[in-house]
Amino acid sequence: MNFLRKTSPLRGVIIIAVLFWMICTALVLQRYYTFFPTFVAFDQGIFNQVFWNNLHGRWFEGSLSSTESVAVMQGNLPEVDYHRLGQHFTPALSLWTLWYAVFPSAAGLSVLQVTLITAAGLVLYALARHYHPPKLAAMITASYYGAIALISPTLANFHDICQIPLFAFGLFWALEKRRWWLVGLLSVLILMVREDSGVVLFGIGFYCVASRRFPRIGVALSVLSLVYMLALTNLIMPLFSNDLSDRFMIEQFGQFTDGQSASTLDVIWGILSNPLRLIQQLLTPPEPTVRYLLGQWLPLAFVPIISMDAWMLAGFPILKTLIQNDPSALSLHLRYAQTWVPGLFYGMILWWSRHPQLFKPRFRQIWIGCICLSLIFTITANPNRALSWLIPDSIQPWVYVSPARQWQHAQAVRSLLAQIPPDASVTATDHIVAHVSGRREVLRFPLLKLRNDAEQEQLMEYAIADLWYLQQSQPAFEDYRKTLEANQQAIARILRRRFGGQRYGLIDFQDGVLLMQWGKPSNPEAVANWEAYRQTLPRS
């Protein structure tokens, strides 16, 4: 941060933004092209297939999304024409179809995510300059680029929430400048991000009313967001599937309902009618909750704790996060953390507008120290395994794969992928599925069948499974160990069983990666290598 003293604040902000973009882009591309798995690697394939289908006029369809549906969990086959809008209503993704046309891959989506988050920081600087001199505005922006809740989800797989900081900061700027047409446009865009992004807009409307700054606009935004969310989740999304009520609402908010299915109205009533349960959910588990709050406040030098504006703006996203019955919701490394960012930072800007006299050298030093501490915590946490080439995934037991070994393994995976025709149907393990998801018929290994466009059952022509990374990680991570055991059993079953009178043949095996093709005889050398490799795997 010292270089900000030696150059103009605006130039310093641009330098930070460029460094942020370059470093994050390099990290996400390095992980992608080395096939290094993240803990939610499958999502990258889901989004890439949705974009690929959008580009080909099959809007928001995806066989990978179908594998996450209640129907498939109940034993039905995945469908290639399944509409993901029944799970998450995300029409804003269509805004980036042209980007995907130019960069048509999952890697392109990761770069898009970094670009959107970087651009949001520049809009934040413009917003801060509305109230503050350049140095204070630059410090607020530096806090943004140094926030663990901003960096870590950016280094995750592509997610729809990455659009919210840009749209929300733009909306705040439009409010301050009285650009009412832009307020309307960005409000609609925020609602289009996800079915639950209306919570962010409702919080903005609540602030506008409670602060008495824009009461009419606030009422309009609050009513718009509430009506939109209720109409969308209860009337429109059920037209595509019942996944929201039968799965997602129960998984995240089932503690407030008693049935096997719940609408948003059921959940809202359950929350309002059970205040004690609500309080209990807000306060538990205590240690992760406190750690999560401190992580959000740290890069802002804990000022949001005493900023009533920040509490009003971010209060509803905070409430939604804390009451979710999902341990991952309290992770600063996942996408939900970014829903807090707009409200906290705008609240920070407003608080400093009332206390500019406190921006003294001593406090600036403390603030810079908090930003540096946030960066240290981010790096040592190895966010979404983006730094696994540098930092061990585990120390006890030791789990580390050197960059050279990562690239060596990646070359083996690429040589097998090169044998799969670009239009062939394929099933792949989680961290490979994103690389083959730019096609119509894709599944998550070990699934082998889907219902194609002709409404017929179809076997996947190819199956590719990488056990090597699972083998490296399984000593320290139980979920990888279980997946490794399950995949070994699935491979044995696939190679042994006949499908339609024919078998899958093991046509190639390299460095712990198997490539199987339906209707082809096994390659004896590949089988021998696989059998030898099996002896190195842990036995259940």
The 10 Å Cβ neighbour count of residue 380 is: 10
In contact, 384 and 156? CB cutoff 8 Å = yes
Angle at 314 between CA 310 and CA 315, to 5 degrees: 100
Give the DSSP H or E segment for 23. helix 9-33
Name the pTM for this structure: 0.95
Pairing of strands 457-459, 462-466: unpaired
Give the DSSP H or E segment for 426. strand 426-428
pLDDT the model gives residue 305: 96
Q: Which of 60, 360, 379 is nearest to 192 (CA)?
A: 60
**138: phi > 0 → left, psi -120 to 50 → alpha, else beta; which?**
alpha
Dihedral sign computed on CA atoms, order 484, 388, 334, 165: negative
Query: Cis peptide before 422, with omega less than 30 degrees from 0?
Result: no
Give the residue extent of every domain in the chain: 2-37+83-385, 403-534
Amino acid, res. 271? I
pLDDT the model gives residue 36: 85
Amino acid, res. 304? P
Tokens matching residue 3: 């270089």
In contact, 186 and 179? CB cutoff 8 Å = no
pLDDT the model gives residue 6: 60
Give 83-104 as a 3 state SS string.
EHHHCCCCHHHHHHHHHHHHCC
Per-10-residue mean pLDDT, the chain, length 540: 66 97 97 84 93 97 96 95 96 97 97 98 98 97 97 95 98 97 98 96 97 96 97 96 91 88 91 90 90 96 96 95 87 92 97 95 96 97 92 92 95 97 96 96 96 95 96 91 94 92 95 96 96 88
For the sheet with 462-466, list strands across it. 442-444, 426-428, 462-466, 513-518, 502-510, 498-499
CA 202/CA 191 separation, integer angstroms: 10
In contact, 297 and 345? CB cutoff 8 Å = no
Tokens matching residue 410: 């990646």
Residues 62-67: contacts with CB under 8 Å, at least 24 apart = 63/440, 63/441, 63/442, 63/443, 63/450, 64/433, 64/437, 64/442, 64/443, 64/444, 66/450, 67/443, 67/444, 67/447
CA 19/CA 22 separation, integer angstroms: 5
Chain length of the chain = 540
pLDDT the model gives residue 500: 80
Give the DSSP H or E segment for 442. strand 442-444
